Amino acid sequence: MKRFAVLISGRGSNLEAMLLARARGGLFADPVLVISNKSDAPGLAVAQRHGIPTEIVLWSDRESAEQRCLELLHRQSADFIVLAGFMKVLTGGFIDAYCHRILNIHPALLPSFPGVHAQRQALKYGARVTGCTTHFVDAGIDTGPIILQKAVPVLPDDTEETLSARILACEHELVVESVNLFAADCLMIDGDRRVRIDGEKFKRFRAECPARERTVPT
Ligand code: GAR
């Protein structure tokens, strides 16, 4: 079973979606560490409720913050990383250390609306369809190879809040599916950036994965 760390900056609902899936036996990788760049991120309590160790790494100096994160990740033997609402940009050395092993979830259909306030950008632009994307992290902002995407219609009366809430529900599914595909070694980057998914291999992996009975924490 692959081990992974989750980097967060805020509420941690994507983190919670993964931890609830794990509790149901529906996540085929072990979350071993949650790192937040904010000491008051509500997601820290989510991790603690599920018994996952947490660390706070403040980003006052980017280089030393990334170095500290790498130390923590190595100490926990993390095989890969999920950025779940992590609002800092990671740079060269860090990305190289986990090349094609960092997954990010973004609340838009990339390459549209990268960066911050993606839902606001979609509304302002007048898009009729937006959604969410999981992708591997590269040196750009939300530019890495796309893993999965899900479309969400923009409704006439949508506000940033209502649209964000519908997108978030889709993010929760996508992030779990993406972690599982990665954990099963079913994602291959073809050429520069097309990600191939080996669906047959995934079916075999899932069938062989021991069902882990766990109680869902309340
Ligand atoms: C999510 O919508 C996620 O896609 C977004 O922040 C939110 C975090 O929610 N991430 C980005 O915008 C990154 N560019 P969560 O803390 O409840 O998972």
pLDDT in tens, 27-59: 999 999 999 999 999 999 999 999 999 999 999
pLDDT tens-digit readout, 122-178: 999 999 999 999 999 999 999 999 999 999 999 999 999 999 999 999 999 999 999
Inform me whether the pLDDT recorded for 209 exceeds 90.
no
Atom of ligand 1 nearest to the CA of 104: 13
Give, using CA atoms, the residue closest to atom 17 of ligand 1. Answer: 13
At the top level of CATH, which class does the domain 3-208 belong to? alpha beta
Q: Do the bridges between strand 2-8 and strand 187-190 make them parallel or antiparallel, or are there none, so unpaired?
A: unpaired
Residue to mutate (ligand 1; options 171, 174, 176; most atoms within 8 A of CB) = 171
Indicate whether 198 pLDDT > 80: yes
Name the band, by pLDDT with cuts 50, 70 and 90, for residue 191. confident
Q: Ligand 1 mean position to 186 CA, how many Å?
A: 25
Q: How far apart are CA 178 and CA 183, in angstroms?
A: 8
Distance between the two ends of the chain, CA-based, in angstroms? 25
**Domain locations in the chain?**
3-208
Question: Is 135 marked active-site?
Answer: no
pTM of the predicted structure, to 2 decimals: 0.95
